[in-house]
Amino acid sequence: MVKARPRPAVNGVASADRVLTVLTAFQIGDTALSLVELVERTGLIKSTIMRLMVSLENYGFITRMADGRYQLASEVMRLNAVYQEALDLEKHVMPRLHHLAEQSGETASFYVRHGAYRMCQYRVNSSHRLRMNLQPGDMRPMDEAASAQALRAPYQVGIALQKPYYSKGATDPHAASLALPIYGAQQELMGALVISGPVSRLTEEYAESLRDMFFEAARDLMRSLGFKASSADQQAAR
Among residues 56, 72, 88, which one ends one of the domains? 72
Output DSSP code: residue 82.
H
Domain assignment present for 8: no
Amino acid letter, 82? V
Kindly report the three-state secondary structure assignment for every residue of 21-50.
HHHCCCCCCCCCECHHHHHHHHCCCHHHHH
pLDDT at 186: 82
Could you tell me if 50 and 84 lie in one domain? no
Domain assignment present for 28: yes
pLDDT at 13: 42
Q: Which of 37, 22, 33 is nearest to 64 (CA)?
A: 33
Could you tell me if 64 and 90 lie in one domain? no
Residue-by-residue pLDDT tens, the chain, 238 positions: 444 555 444 444 447 888 999 999 998 888 899 999 999 999 999 999 999 999 899 999 999 999 999 999 988 888 877 766 665 788 999 999 999 999 999 999 999 998 889 999 999 998 877 656 667 778 899 999 999 999 999 999 999 999 999 999 998 999 999 999 999 888 889 999 999 999 999 999 999 999 999 999 999 999 998 888 765 565 555 5
pLDDT at 176: 96
Tell me if 76 sits within 8 A of 165, measured CB to CB.
no
Among residues 33, 53, 72, which one ends one of the domains? 72
CATH number at residue 117: 3.30.450.40
Could you tell me if 29 and 137 lie in one domain? no
pLDDT at 2: 45
Positive or negative CA dihedral for 173, 178, 184, 188?
positive
For the entire predicted model, the pTM comes to 0.63
Could you tell me if 231 and 163 lie in one domain? yes
pLDDT at 17: 86
Domain assignment present for 7: no
| Count of structural domains within the chain | 2
Output DSSP code: residue 131.
-
Helix H or strand E encompassing 237: none
CATH number at residue 20: 1.10.10.10
Domain assignment present for 9: no
Domain assignment present for 132: yes
Whole-number Cα distances in Å, 170 to 2, 10, 147, 178, 209: 65, 52, 10, 12, 21
Domain assignment present for 209: yes
pLDDT at 4: 52
Domain housing 153: 80-236
Domain assignment present for 40: yes
pLDDT at 77: 81
Domain assignment present for 191: yes
Residue 88 CA to residue 21 CA, distance in Å, equals 28
Q: Which residues contact 159 (CB under 8 A, 6 or more apart)?
A: 183, 229, 233, 236, 237
